[in-house]
Structures are given as structure tokens and as C-alpha cells.
Structure 1
Amino acid sequence: MTSGRSGPTTASSAPCWSPGAEPMTSVPQPLRVVIIGGGLTGASLAWQLARMALPARITVVEPRAELGRGLAYSSRDPAHRINVPAHRMSIDPEDRGDFLSWLQADPARLTPDAQAEGGDIYPQRGLFGSYVADRLAPHLASGAIRHIRARVSDIERAGDGSFVLILSDESRIRAELLVLATGHPAPALPKLLAGLSGQPALIADPQDEARLAEVPQDARVLILGAALSAADVIATLDRQGHRGAITCLSRRGLRSRGQGPRGQDSSADFLDPPSRQASDLLRRVRHAIVDEQARGQDWQAVFYRLRAQGQEIWTALPEDARRRLLRHARTWWDVHRYRLPPQTETVIAGLIAQGRLQFLAGHLLRAEAGDAGILVNWRPRGRTDARQAVFDRVVVTTGPAQDRCIAASPALGALARLGLIAPCPLGLGLATTASCKALDAEGRASDRILIAGPLARGHLGELVGAPECAAQAKDIAREIARAAMLAPITRSQLRTV
């Protein structure tokens, strides 16, 4: 397989430039587009732009060795699988089966257990990262995409309105158009666990494979959270031969649902007309599920339809209705929308049947380190009395801290200090327009900054899965293509001002 590391990968290959300098020749210069973040969204966008052969120089700043990996698809654990059938995964919105075709082109890529009972393929998650890297490899080799392995430490504004990015290796690059594709912010340690920071028994990052590998086989494990990250931890522990008890504690005690039998997508239409109230949308969803069950389908068919129409459904809702959905239905949506791969579902069902895994609903009250382990106090949901137990390991899987994305990123922090970006009022990333232009601190749309991927969830709603990120990347690519074509005119106007 061709590696995504082909072509220039260091900032030292960037041409020398100083803010305000005039070009040395009258030949029109390509638009300098810099994408911050080379996970799935950033890589998909770079791939779309490279195929357009625009008068633009595409640079992706991403510290990982390969583009397209990101947090999810950098996992090498064979127990971590994609949670959507392979035939629904692609970076090309016009070819939904591209990933499956890539897998089938080399049968050695798939292990025998990748195929579920219904026939759908759920391969190891890192394979999707390899697929994205393989699709980008020719464009990296040709120089159509430049990958700089670094982080953005700071950003300054040049006199002509462009940006100077200061990188972690102390080099600088210029961007006339900036795309923020930094993905999900890192999880934040719950305040009640702050006193345990640095304790060997606390695993604050569920992606820390080395720490999980050190968990003793008989350890009593508490997992805070019960969604897909918790399922990954359970699958990892099971693969490692863990024999101890596992407890998952979350506020509602809900866990991610399974995929269900393979069937047709629902024909329900939630856009004719679009709902304007949260209660109306929920009523229509319930009725659609009943209708599909009468046809012999399961509720999963309705959720595939909701996913397909998700962005239009969300944008049609007024802000107060969005807030109501987030407050009352978000957990229910998450456990039905973000479902388990069948292989992981089998592992979890088996551990529950053996009495080694339980899911509890409750609120964490206190956690403190002791000689016997970590003493944890919690209050079961709907009760006033507290419970306590001692655990050998506590793993935090409470998910990304969407409301602290600016504070967690030096690049976003720099832009916020310049007043060029603002947090989403719903606490879901950054404030954007319908065309994914960043809104500044005064609510004005930017012509220089675009928001890609999960950072734009507040406006677009359904923007986490690979198909949705790829579709948004295509829309943003069109916006950049327009800017690239207009760049010579825009530059001439700036020089005459």
C-alpha cells in the first residue's frame, strides 16, 4: 500500500515569505490554502481540492505521520472496528462504496471475523485510516497536497488580511484562506477526579493503549461513561484476557445499541414539511418507527433516514428547539445513532450474561485514592442514598469537551484572541454560517476562515460520521474553488486600496 507520507512533509520546504511582500513576478500566484488538522475531515477536503486542480496551493498542518487518521482511525487495536457497515463508508460522497471496493481489492486486508452475521463488513477501524491515506498518496507524491508534520502554536494577522501561522518547529507559513478542521477536542477530566490526576490507577485518556495494556487481568474496573468509547475499552480489555468485574457508570445508564438486522432504509420524510418544534420532530420519529415495524423493518432504518436528512432537519429548527433537543434527547439520540459493531455487541452481551459487566445509572459524588485502590462514591439515579465501592482502575470515557475547543487548541485560542472566531452558542464547537464561514466575535461572517468537521456541529447538527464529513468537505471545496478563481481580482483590489 502506498504511504500517505509521500512528498514534502516538513515546514522547511515552504518558500521564504515576509508579510506584505510583493510577488517577484507578474504571474498570478496560487491561492494559499492551509487546512489545520489532517484527520478525516481535513484529509477529505484536501483530497477534494486536489482533484479539482485549482489555482491553489493546498497545505495540511497535521502532526501525525499520515493524513486521514485522526483520533478514531489511528487506532491499531484489532478489537476497535468501524461502527457503520463498510459499504456506507467513503471519502467520496458520490461513491458510497469506495471503501468497500478498496477492501475487496486486496482480500488480505480483511480478517475472517470482519463479516457480521447479516453479511455486512465491519473491519478494524485503522483500516479506514489506511484507505484514506492511500487515496491521498498520489496527490502528496505529486505535490498537489503538502503535508507539514507540526502543530500550530500561534497565528498572527498580516497587513493584507492573510495569516501567518507559527508552527511548533518555530517555522512560519502564510495562509490566505484558513480551514479549521481540528476535529473533536480532547476529553476533559471531570472536576471530581481532579485530585486523582497523575494517579496510576486513573486512566484519563481511553485512547491510551499503553495504559490499558497495563490493566491487571483481575482488576476491578470502573468506566465513567457508557457510549462507544466505553465499548472500545471493554472490547480492548476482553481481547487482553481481562477476567475482573467491569462497571460502567453514567447519568442515565444507557448504552449504545446494536446495528440490528440488515434491511432497507426508511422512506420516511422528515423534511416535508420540516419540523419547527422538538416535540413535533420526536412525535414524527416515533410514528415512523411504528410504520417501519409494521413493514417488518426495525428502528435502525428510521435512524439511517434521520442521519441522511440530519443536517436539513437541524438547520430548520429554531435555536430554542435545538436547545430542547440537546437538553432532553441528546443521550437517547447518541445511543441509537452511534451504534455498536456486531462483534463488539457480542462481547458486551457475553460479559453481561457472565455477570462480569454491569451498566449503572447515577451521579458521581466523590473519588479518592486509598491503599486498596480508588474509593468511589455515587448516587444511583432517582435515589437519595449514596453507594460506594473500591476499584483498581478508573477509566474516563465521558467524551470530547466540545465547549472547550477554543481553550484546548493554541490555534483556535489565537484566532479567538484576534476576535476572528467565536464559540457556538449551543456549546458545540464554533459559530458558523450556513456556508461554514466562521463568525467572528461581532457575529460577522469571515471571507478568510472556514469551519470543517465536528467544529461546525452547532449549525449543521449531524456532522460526525465519515459520510457527513465527506459531504461537508465537498461543499467547502466548492467555496474554496470560488475563492481561488477570484483571488487575482481580490488581490488587485487590495493593492489599489
Structure 2
Amino acid sequence: MTVLQSPRLRVVIIGGGFSGASLAWQLAEMRAQAVITVVEPRSELGRGLAYSTNEPTHRINVPAHRMSLDPERREDFLEWLTEAEEQGRLDHDRQSVTEHGERFPRREVFGRYVSERLAPHLETGTIRHIRARVGDVERALDGSLVLMLSDESRIRADIVVLATGHPAPAVPKPVAGLTGAAQLIADPYDPVRLAEVDKDARILVLGAALTSADVIATLDRLGHQGRITCISRHGLRSRGHGQITRDSQVDFVNPPIRRASELLRAVRHAVVDDQAQGQSWHATFYRLRQQGPQIWAGLDAANRARLLRHLRTLWDVHRYRLAPQVEVVLNRLVADGRLEYVAGHVLATERDGEAVRVSWRERGGETRRTESFDKIIVTTGPAQGRCIDWNPALGALARLGLVTPDPLGLGLATTETCRAIDASGAASQRVLIAGPLARGHIGELVGAPECAIQVSAIAAEIVKQAILAPILGPAAVAHGPVATPS
């Protein structure tokens, strides 16, 4: 096949979920003098795993007025939503409105918003969408990268942006022997497998965060009446939303916090201060979310690791909150005695006829419990530490020495300017990291608002390089000065 040639900077974004779509859109809106190509196998950009679902119980877990492609216009999605409903392009979803007037639409609706915002740029060819996967990568003589695609075509890139999102959950070792068995559902977003679950089935859900909540809400909608047990290391489920009447004024970055223990004390004091002002802990955590990158930057490697080891679960259950509609379902099932949250560690599984006997040890003791379940559903979250093995494109770049794993196991090693750190420890001159794969350096980088802010910085850097490309040539620009890894 003919390799794409262009005098302009050739930017190829691998992954067309929210991060990749947001970057492409921002580059187009900034009129970047670049050839913008997104390689994404799905039919629409901006969907990804989160927003491609058509399950009605799957809702955004951030209020609509804080979701946007454009970090400079935080309410863009809400404005689009209101307009679409007024024009009759979208049915009004009364269940999306909370008692406080906030909107939590279905996730597919947010995916449609992103798709519609991108549509004009796709129609004009400013953004090109190739429905394929990257199977391999080679380095050309001029230093550019040649991407081999699953449709047997090749494209050349002066800059590659990795926006592949989260790896799939890994099946825990104690249940790995059930792989392929009817009793194990390894993909929690497989609608066919969930629809096949018997209405009275005894279910064990591995994990207790947002993915488990999605699964439970889906099963409830399908009419499931059996008992559900959620087991996780701490037995904590995601919290719900509270009303924030004004933003917290607590400052977590001045003076800088240097130790994980200092951060914990600061958060506790901040919650008390905010409560004294009539606010709940939700305001405190929203402030933490805003200042997350600066807080993370102030911690050294040892304290980042300590924070993850001791406080990550507490952070996750307070930070990644349930949509109110889903919280209602969980509360009802707990009150009815049909849903139980257990803190413990699965030890072993064995088949027991059509069921599975599961043994686990309760947290903080030696008590061992054994129960039989009809289905085990894995919702343990993305296996971020195995992203290179999971994705052929990342694996190929790793073999070329252009990317390396983040030492904390959160994705890929990344510089302050979102460039990949290569095998020599230097900033890669060709590869940028967008979205959750850069979490190890930025800290808080999972939600759409944070991803939009991060990719705006990447877009600005690419635009600068694109301006110089016609003068110096794309290859020379790509070899220009870069920040050293922090």
C-alpha cells in the first residue's frame, strides 16, 4: 500500500474514545496546520467503552454542567443537551433530573454529543477517521513512524498520540481456572451474557466500584431477584453525590504537600472546615479534584506509591461517585437484603455441579467463608499495569524503545509535557500520551473533565510544532527541543 505523504505535520491519534476525540476536535478548532488522523475501529469517534453503551441504566456520573469537550466552556454539553431536547432531536429524559435540578443523562447521550461536535470536521476532512486497529509500528529512515493497520494499509506519522484508554480488567488468579466456563462473566459490559443470567441466580461480583454498580443496575433492570454479593479488598462501595452550593476555598497546594500523611491530615481538616461553612465533604473532594495535578506533582515517588498503597481505595470511592439513579438502585437492594458488600480476599474456586464454590478470607481476620454461586462477574477495574501487553500498538512502540511502563503501574511513563519516556529515560520525540495512560505522572486523569484539560495542553504543543513544520519540515520539528522527564 502507498504510504501517506504530506508536507504538513502528520499527527496520528491511536484511539478514538473521549481523549482521542477531544484532542482531534481541539486541534481542528484551533485550525492546526496538520493532517489529523484518528485510528479507531468503532464507527463513531468519541464513544469508547464508556459512551458506546446503549444500556439505559448507564449514566454519566458527573453532572452534565461539568462535562464538555471544551475545557474553556464547561457547560457545552448541557447547552447541547437542552438545545437537542428543545428541537426534538432528543427525547427529554425526566429521570436524568435530580431533586436539585442537576442532570445525569445516559452515557450514550454524551457519546452522541461528542459525535455531533466532531461531525463537521469529519465532513470537511479536517479530521480523518480510519476504522482499523494498529497492529505494528516501524521506524522510517527519517525517524517518522509507519503504522501498519488491520485493514492492511499503512500510514506515516510525524507525531503519534496514544489515547487508547483503559485496558480490560484482568481475571483474578483464584477464578482464572473458570475462564471460558458458563459460570464466569469476565466482561462486565457484555450485554448478551448479562441478559442470560437466570433471574434467581446467586451472583458474586468481584469488585465494588463503579463498574460493579453498572452491572448491578443492569441486572436489576433485567428483573434479577436473586442475592448479590460484592467482594473487594475493603468492602467499600462508591459514594453518591451531594449538593455543592459553592466551591470549597481550601488550598491544598500552598504551601505544597510533600507527604501522603500530610495530605490525609489536610483533607480531614478541610472536610471539617467545609462542614462548618455548611458544605458536605463533596465540596472538599471537588477541590481536591481541581488541584489534583499540583498535589501529585508535589509528592516524590515514594509518597506517590504510599498514597496509592494506603489511600487509593478511599480516594476512589469518594472521588468516582455514583449517578443518583444508580445509587437509588443499590440502596434499595441493600435495604431488601439482596445486596451485600464484603471486605475480603478470594482464596479459591471450584466447580460444584452447575455452580461454583468460592472460598474467601474476611479482611482483618482469619475467618474463612465458603459459599456457592451460580455466576461470578469480574468488575475489578482496568489492569493498567499490563497496558503494553494488552495493546499491539503499545507493544510495538515498547519494542522500538519509544515507550516504557510507568513505575507505579498506572500506565506509561510520561514527562511534564505529556511526552512518552523512552527506554533511555529521555522524552520521546515522536510519541505523546493522552488520557488515562498518563495518569502516573498527572495523578488524577480518568474523568472526562480532566482528560479534556490534559489534551488541551497536548493540542497547544502540537499546534506550535505544526506552525514550524512547513518551514523546517515535519521531521525536523519532531526532533526539536523537548522537556526532560521529571
**SS where residue 84 of structure 1 aligns?**
coil
Residue 143 of structure 1 aligns with an amino acid whose one-letter code is G
Aligned to 1:456: 438
Deviations, residues 262-292 of structure 1 (Å, cap 9, x unaligned): 4222111111111011111111111010001
Q: 2:356 aligns with which of 371, 374, 377?
A: 374
Residue 478 of structure 1 aligns with an amino acid whose one-letter code is A
Aligned to 1:3: none
Kept after mapping to 1: 8 A contact 2:244/2:280? no
**Deviation for aligned residue 1:370:** 2.2
Q: Percent identity?
A: 63
**SS where residue 402 of structure 2 aligns?**
coil
**SS where residue 71 of structure 1 aligns?**
helix
2:28 is equivalent to residue 50 of structure 1: yes
Aligned to 1:414: 396
Q: 1:260 aligns with which of 242, 250, 253?
A: 242
Q: 2:46 aligns with which of 50, 68, 85?
A: 68
Kept after mapping to 2: 8 A contact 1:103/1:109? no
**Could you tell me the TM-score, scaled by structure 2's length?**
0.95
Q: 2:233 aligns with which of 228, 251, 254?
A: 251
**Deviation for aligned residue 1:106:** 2.2
Q: 1:383 aligns with which of 356, 362, 365?
A: 365
Q: 1:91 aligns with which of 69, 73, 76?
A: 69
2:201 is equivalent to residue 223 of structure 1: no
Counterpart CA distance in 1 for 2:214 and 2:54 is: 12
Counterpart CA distance in 2 for 1:17 and 1:405 is: 28
Residue 322 of structure 2 aligns with an amino acid whose one-letter code is L
Counterpart CA distance in 1 for 2:113 and 2:416 is: 30
Deviations, residues 14-56 of structure 1 (Å, cap 9, x unaligned): xx338xxxx7xxxx81111000000000000000001122221
**SS where residue 37 of structure 2 aligns?**
strand
For structure 1, the 5+ residue unaligned runs are 1-11
Residue 148 of structure 2 aligns with an amino acid whose one-letter code is I
**More divergent stretch after superposition (346-355 vs 253-262):** 253-262
Aligned to 2:482: none
**SS where residue 314 of structure 1 aligns?**
helix
**Deviation for aligned residue 1:491:** 2.9
Aligned to 1:471: 453
**Deviation for aligned residue 1:489:** 4.1
Q: 1:206 aligns with which of 173, 188, 191?
A: 188
**SS where residue 132 of structure 2 aligns?**
coil
Aligned to 1:315: 297
**More divergent stretch after superposition (41-50 vs 204-213):** 204-213
Counterpart CA distance in 2 for 1:83 and 1:492 is: 41
Residue 280 of structure 1 aligns with an amino acid whose one-letter code is E
Aligned to 2:484: none
Counterpart CA distance in 1 for 2:22 and 2:474 is: 31
**Deviation for aligned residue 1:95:** 0.5
Deviations, residues 93-116 of structure 1 (Å, cap 9, x unaligned): 011000000110022443111101
2:281 is equivalent to residue 299 of structure 1: yes
Residue 80 of structure 1 aligns with an amino acid whose one-letter code is H
**SS where residue 196 of structure 1 aligns?**
coil
2:333 is equivalent to residue 355 of structure 1: no
Kept after mapping to 2: 8 A contact 1:118/1:262? no
**More divergent stretch after superposition (259-268 vs 462-471):** 259-268
Aligned structure 1 segments of 4 or more residues deviating by more than 4 angstroms: 492-495
**SS where residue 45 of structure 2 aligns?**
coil
Over 3 Å counting, the alpha-carbon distance change for 1:360 and 1:493 in structure 2 is closer
2:16 is equivalent to residue 38 of structure 1: yes
**Deviation for aligned residue 1:166:** 0.4
Matched pairs, number:
474
Counterpart CA distance in 1 for 2:21 and 2:176 is: 35
Matches within 5 A, 1:76-475: 76-107=54-85, 108-475=90-457
For structure 2, the 5+ residue unaligned runs are 480-486
**More divergent stretch after superposition (255-264 vs 297-306):** 255-264
Kept after mapping to 1: 8 A contact 2:158/2:474? no
Counterpart CA distance in 1 for 2:284 and 2:68 is: 21
Counterpart CA distance in 2 for 1:95 and 1:353 is: 41
Kept after mapping to 1: 8 A contact 2:142/2:475? no
